[in-house]
Amino acid sequence: MNDLTHIDQQNNPTMVDVSAKKITKRTATATSTVIFPEEVKSYFQGNELVTKKGPVYHTAIIAGVMAAKKTHELIPFCHPIAIENCKINIITNQQGNAEITCTVSLHHKTGVEMEALTGASIAALTIYDMCKALSHDIEITATKLIKKTGGKSDINL
């Protein structure tokens, strides 16, 4: 038996068949961190990073939610799903870097891990895009799934 879910018996790529699965509430949370050089940190106004392009964190939140909803258009074997909730939170940590958390939930036969990871990733990329005129030394790190509930198993990292 093949352990890779997106490879069929003939070793061809395939979408996972979820037709026999039960509908359950499923959630996933992913994080990503954006590390800023000092020249970018000087553009903070309180907890908001503001550049000539506008409020960076607010724009990144919108972009991340939009991306989570379009994950199936970006990742070949992701199922198109009707996300019921997507929340993105961005804080500035004690080191002055952005910590992004994206939580996605729905009632469905398939999970939302990829949607949460995509939301966090695109939020981070949006921050980079909006700040790259200030410095190209911005670093995106530690994009990872930290929690998943529903389906066969729960994960809490």
Q: Which of 3, 8, 17, 129 is catalytic?
A: 129
How far apart CA 85 and CA 152 sit, in angstroms, is 21
SS3 61: helix
- Active site includes 129? yes
120-157 burial: b if 16+ Cβ within 10 Å, else e: bbbbbbbbbbbbeebeeebebeebebbbbbbbeeeeee
Residues designated as active site: 129
